[in-house]
Structure 1
Amino acid sequence: MARVTEIQMAIKRASPNRSSSPYAESTDKEQENVIANAVPERYRGTDQDRQDMIVQGKQQELRRNFKLLTMTGFASMVVCAWEGLLPLFNYVLLDGGTALMFWGFICVGITMAMVYLSVAEIASMSPTAAGQYHWVSEFGPPKCQRFLSYCTGWLCAIGWQTFLASVCFMVGTIIQGLIIVNNENYVFQSWHGTLLAIAVICFAIIFNTLLAGKLPLTEGVAVIVHICGLFCVIIPLWVMSPRGDSREVLLEFTNLGGWPTTGLSSMIGLTTPVSIWIGYDCSVHMAEEIHDASRNLPKSILSAVSLNCCLGFLMAMTLIFCVGDAEAVLAASDELNGYAFLQIFMNAVQNRHAVNAMTFLVIFGLTNCAISETATASRQIWSFARDNGLPFSGWLSHVYPGQNIPLRAVLVSLCVVTLLSLINIGSDVALNAINSLAGVSLLTSYLITIGCLIWRRLYGAPLPPRKWSLGRMGLPINIAAFCLLTPLWFFAFWPLALPVTAASMNWASTMFGGCIIVSIFFWFAKGRRVYTGPVVQMRREVQM
C-alpha cells in the first residue's frame, strides 16, 4: 500500500495536469478506497500494475488472476490455429492449392510475426483492456487521434463480436457435418445449425459467469488437450493416408476459382493462412486481469504466436500431403456441410468411429475457443463503453461489486451472437457476410495502430518506458509490418471464385463500409461530444 500512496502523492504534485481528466475531482482518499475495496488484495497485481492503472487514469475493477502460462494458454485457445485451419482448408484448395498453403503459411507467418512484435511492444507501454483504440488515441496525430480512436474502437468491438459468432456457428455446422457422416438419412436444416450455435454460446457464457474464477484453470487444461489433440489427429493421417508427391504438393499452384491468373488466385487464397494468424490481440483485452501485465502481456502474446505457429504448421503440412485429389475432396465436401477435412478424415481412416473421435477433438478446441473469445469480446466492449464509445455506455460499463467481471458486457455478447445466428435461418449468405467482417475489422485495427506508432516514432514525442522493447529494430519492424500487412488486408475483400454471384460474393467490403458508416453516424450523433479518447486521462508524469 505504501507504493500506491507514493504514486498518489505524485499525482497530487502533478495537479496542474490533472484538470483535464474526468477523474480530477476525485480525492486521493477516494482513490485509495477504490483500490482497497474494488478488488481483493490477492487479485490486485503488482505495484507496477497499480501504477499502470493510475497512469492510465483507470480504476482496477477486474481480478488479475492470469499468469504468464495461463494467459499463453488463453491466447492459444482464442486463435486455435490447427483446429481453425481444418474448416478453412476448402478455401486454399480452391485458390492456390497445397503449394500456397505451404509457402503462404510461411510468408503470412513472417508478416504477422512483425505485426505481433509491434503489438507486444505497444502492450508493454500501455497494458490496457482497451487495446488498439487506446493506443491510437495515445500515439496518433493529435488533430485526428480522437476520431481515429473512436472508429478503431468500433471496428474492434464489431470484429470481436462477429468473430465470436463465427466460431460458434462453425462448431454448430461441424456437428451437423459429423451427423451426416454417421446418419446418411439426416435431412440438413439451416435452423439446426442455428440452434447448435446458440447452444455453444450459452455454454461459453456459463464459463464466463458462474465459472469465471476457474477460467485460468480451464485454459490450462484446454491448451494441454490442444497440444496433445493435434498428434491424435495427425498421426492417423500420417500412418493411413496415401502420400502426395513432394514436387507436386509444394511447387504446383492451382486455380480452381476461375481467376485470370494463378498468381491472382493465390493472393486471394491467402485468406486461409491469414485467418489462423488473426486474433492474438485477445491477450491485450485481458490486460487488466494479468498479473504483472507490462512484463507478462508481451511475453504471452509472442509465446502463443510461437506455439500456435508450430502446431498450425504441422497440421498444414499434414493436410497438404494427405489431401489426395483436391477436386474430388472439394466435390465430396458438399455432402458434408462444406467441410473438406471430414472427407479427408474418412478417406484416411475409413472408419466412422475414428472420424468421430478425431472430429471431437476439433470441436473441443473450437468450443474452448468460443469460451475464450467470449471473455475477449466482452472485455473489448466493456472497455470501450468505459470510455463512452458505445450507446448506453454507463449501463454497459458497470461492474457489480464483488463479482469483478463485466457481466452486462458478457450478456450483451450472448444477445449479439444469438441474433447473428438467427440470420442463418433466412440466409446463410448473409451470415457468411457478417462472419467475413471479423477478419478485416481486426486487420484494419492493426494497420491503424501500427501506422500511429510509426507516426509517433517519426514525428511525435519519445515513446513511454516499457518492460519489453524492440530497441533499434522497432521502427524497421513497424514499417515492415505495415507494408506487408496492407496487401493481405486488400485481398481479404476479394471473392473466392468467378463468376461472382450473391452466394459466392465476399460481402466483407459491403459490411466493412457499413461499419464505418455506423461509427461515423454515432460519432456525429453523440461521440464527438462525449468521447474524449483515453489519452485525455493519461498521467505519464507519474510514471516512475
Structure 2
Amino acid sequence: MGREDGIMLNVQHSSPETSSLNASQREGTAQDKHDMWRAGRDQELNRNFRFLSVLGFTAVLMCTWEAVLFGSSYGLTNGGKGGMIYTYLGGLAGFSFVILSMAEMASMAPLSGGQYHWVSEFAPPSSQALLSYLTGWICVLGWHTGIAGCSYTVANMMVGVIAINYPDTYTYERWHVTLLVIAVAMVALMFNTFLAQKLPLIEGIILIVHCFGFFGILIPLWVLSSKVPASEVFGSIENRGGWDNNGLACMAGLVGPIYALIGPDSAVHMAEEIRDASRVLPMGMVWTLILNGSTGLVMIITFAFCVGDIDEVLKSETGFPFIQVFLNATGSVSATTGMTVVIMIMQFCAAISNVATTSRQIYSFARDKGLPFSDFLAQVNPTFTVPLNALCASLVIVSLLALINIGSSVAFNAIMSLGTAALLSSYIISITCVRLRRWRNQPLPPARWSMGKFTPICDTISIMVLLVIWIFSFFPLTKNVDPTTMNWSVVIFGGVVVVSLSYYMLYARKIYKGPVTRVKMMQQ
C-alpha cells in the first residue's frame, strides 16, 4: 500500500457532514494523518493544541522559575549562593542538549507513547520489545510521581501559608498534607475531564500568568530586599552537606536545577492532540527551553542576592526557604502570603499538565498491551474525548502514594524524588538507541525539525550529561545520613524495574510486541 492510499483510507471513515470538523479538530493536517498512518494508529483524540498552547503546556508543567525557588534547599545546602547559580548554569547548558535531541526525535515520530515508542522503533531488533517495555514502565512511574510531587508541593505551600498566618494556633500533622495532596490531584483530574476540550485555551491563559507572575515575584524582591555586594554572591561556594570538596557538593546540589528543567517530553505525550505535531511540537519544546531557562536564571540570581542568612532560611518553620526569604524581604505576612499564593497557583497548574501527560502515557502504553488491564485503560471516553479510565487510574495511584506520607514522610519524599531518576532513565535509553542507529548508518524517519550535521554531536553530549545527572539524582542531600535522611529512591527504582521485568518474563512478553510491529506492517 502506498503512502497516499493509507491517508485516503483514514479520510474515508468520515461522513460528509462531519468531514470538515474531523479535518480541523481530529485528524489535523495531511502530515498528521501520515504520521498516524505510518505508526499504524487511528486518530482517536482531538487535535486542538496549537503552538502557544503547547508552549504554555510545557512551560507551566516545568515551572522553572517557580521550581528554582521551592527547590532551593538543595542548592543552598550544597553550593550556597554562588554554587547554586553556577550549578544552575551548568545544568541548563547540559540539559539544553537533551531537550534538543528529544525535540528532533519528537519531530521524527510525534506519537503519544513518546520514549517507549522511540525505543521500540529505533532500538536494535533483538532488544526492541524488552527495552521499549521497560521504558514504558519507567515513564509511567516517573509521571505518576510527578503528579504526587506537584500536589505535595502545593499542599506543603498551603500548610506553610497557614503556619505564618496562624503561628500560635495551627499545629502541623502529616495527614493534613496527605488529604491536601489527594484534593489537589482530584481537582486537577476534574480540569482534565470537564474542561478537557478547553485545555489549550486554559494553557494559553496560564502561560500569561506564568510570565506576569515572574515579574510579580521578581520586582518586590529587588525593591524590598537588603542589598548585598555581588562578590558575596558570585564569590561564595559553600558546603553544608559535609561532602569531601566543594565540587562534589555542587554536583550533589544538581538535583535542584534539574528538577526545575526536567519534563520537556510532557508535550510529546500530547502529540496526538497537537495540530501539525511534527513541526509545532519540537518548536514548543525549544521555545520552552529559551523561556523557562532564561527566567529561571534571572530568578535564581535574584534569590541568591536576597536570601540573607542561609542557615536561618533553611531552618524556617514554613517548610520552604523561599517563603522565609519573602517574609524577610517584605516584612509583611500578607505580602508573603500573596507572593506564595502566586507560586502555589502555578504549581497547581503544573499538576493539571502532569495529570494530562500521565493519562496519555498510560493510554498509549495500554493500547500496546504494556500494562495490566490494558483494554480498560486504553478506552477513550466518547463524551469527553479523553482517556477517562486512565485518568481515574492515575488518581487512584496518586492517592495511594499520598497515604504513605501518613506513615512516613521520608518514604514519600523518596518516592517523589523517583520522578527525576525515572524520566532521566527514559531519556538515556531513547537517545542512546537513536545515537546507536546513526552510528551504524541505519535509516531514521525524516524530521521536519532537525539540527542537521550537529545532531550526532548533540546526542553524544546529551547521553554523557544524562549519565552524570542520573548518578547524582540518587545522592542524599548530605553525606552523613541515617534512615530518616537517606535517599531511598534507588531502592524503590530498582524494585519497580524488577517488578516490571518479572511481569514481562511471566506474562507480558507473550502479548507485548511494541509499536514497531505496527510501523513495520504499514511500511511493507
The within-5 A match list for 1:267-416 is 267-331=251-315, 333=316, 335-336=317-318, 338-416=319-397
> Which digits, 9 at most, give the CA deviation of each residue in 1:382-403, with x for residues without a partner?
1000111000101100113353
Q: How many residues of Structure 1 are paired with residues of Structure 2 in the alignment?
A: 520
Which residue does the alignment assign to 2:421?
440
Deviation of residue 83 (structure 1)? Answer: 1.4
Residue type at the aligned position of 1:466: A
Q: Quick check: 1:9 aligned with 2:5?
A: yes
> Which digits, 9 at most, give the CA deviation of each residue in 1:462-513, with x for residues without a partner?
2211211110001011001111221111111111113211111111111110
Counterpart secondary structure, 1:286: helix
Q: Quick check: 1:515 aligned with 2:496?
A: yes
Which residue does the alignment assign to 1:462?
443
Whether contact under 8 Å (2:10, 2:33) holds in the other structure is no
Which residue does the alignment assign to 2:144?
161
2-structure distance, mates of 1:522, 1:535 = 21
Whether contact under 8 Å (1:242, 1:322) holds in the other structure is yes
The within-5 A match list for 1:58-69 is 58-69=41-52
Which residue does the alignment assign to 1:504?
485
> Which digits, 9 at most, give the CA deviation of each residue in 1:400-454, with x for residues without a partner?
3353211111111111111111111111111101101100000011111111011
Deviation of residue 32 (structure 1)? Answer: 3.8
Whether contact under 8 Å (1:163, 1:438) holds in the other structure is yes
Counterpart secondary structure, 2:45: coil
Whether contact under 8 Å (1:99, 1:251) holds in the other structure is yes
2-structure distance, mates of 1:492, 1:131 = 22
Residue type at the aligned position of 2:95: M
2-structure distance, mates of 1:288, 1:380 = 11
> Which digits, 9 at most, give the CA deviation of each residue in 1:328-383, with x for residues without a partner?
2212x2x11x2111110010000011011101100110010011110001001110
2-structure distance, mates of 1:505, 1:245 = 36
Cα-Cα RMSD = 1.9
2-structure distance, mates of 1:163, 1:189 = 23
Which residue does the alignment assign to 1:96?
79
Deviation of residue 91 (structure 1)? Answer: 1.3
Whether contact under 8 Å (1:95, 1:256) holds in the other structure is yes
Q: 1:178 to 1:168 in 2, by over 3 A?
A: same
1-structure distance, mates of 2:121, 2:277 = 18
Whether contact under 8 Å (1:35, 1:59) holds in the other structure is no
Which residue does the alignment assign to 2:127?
144
> Which digits, 9 at most, give the CA deviation of each residue in 1:68-108, with x for residues without a partner?
11110110011111112211111111111111221111111
Q: 1:462 to 1:179 in 2, by over 3 A?
A: same
Q: 1:317 to 1:161 in 2, by over 3 A?
A: same
Pick one of 36, 46, 54 that aligns with 2:37.
54
Counterpart secondary structure, 1:209: helix
1-structure distance, mates of 2:291, 2:479 = 36
Pick one of 180, 183, 188 that aligns with 2:172.
188
Residue type at the aligned position of 1:250: F
Unaligned runs of 5+ in 1: 12-27
2-structure distance, mates of 1:456, 1:296 = 25
Whether contact under 8 Å (2:62, 2:262) holds in the other structure is yes
Q: 1:29 to 1:116 in 2, by over 3 A?
A: closer
Q: 1:214 to 1:400 in 2, by over 3 A?
A: same
Q: Quick check: 1:42 aligned with 2:24?
A: yes
Where has structure 1 moved over 4 Å in runs of 4 or more? 28-31, 34-39, 539-543
Whether contact under 8 Å (2:14, 2:22) holds in the other structure is no
> Which digits, 9 at most, give the CA deviation of each residue in 1:497-540, with x for residues without a partner?
13211111111111110111011011112121111011111059
> Which digits, 9 at most, give the CA deviation of each residue in 1:88-138, with x for residues without a partner?
111111111111221111111111110011001111010000000010111
Which residue does the alignment assign to 2:96?
113
> Which digits, 9 at most, give the CA deviation of each residue in 1:163-213, with x for residues without a partner?
111110110011001100100121001111111111111111111001111
Residue type at the aligned position of 1:33: H
Q: Quick check: 1:472 aligned with 2:453?
A: yes
Deviation of residue 35 (structure 1)? Answer: 9.5
Unaligned runs of 5+ in 2: none
The within-5 A match list for 1:19-30 is none
1-structure distance, mates of 2:276, 2:293 = 25
The within-5 A match list for 1:194-209 is 194-209=178-193
Residue type at the aligned position of 1:345: F
Residue type at the aligned position of 1:99: G
2-structure distance, mates of 1:91, 1:6 = 55
> Which digits, 9 at most, give the CA deviation of each residue in 1:285-336, with x for residues without a partner?
00000000011010011111111111111110111110011112212x2x11
Pick one of 104, 109, 113 that aligns with 1:130.
113
2-structure distance, mates of 1:174, 1:213 = 30
Deviation of residue 42 (structure 1)? Answer: 2.4
2-structure distance, mates of 1:10, 1:202 = 40
Residue type at the aligned position of 1:98: K
1-structure distance, mates of 2:453, 2:350 = 36
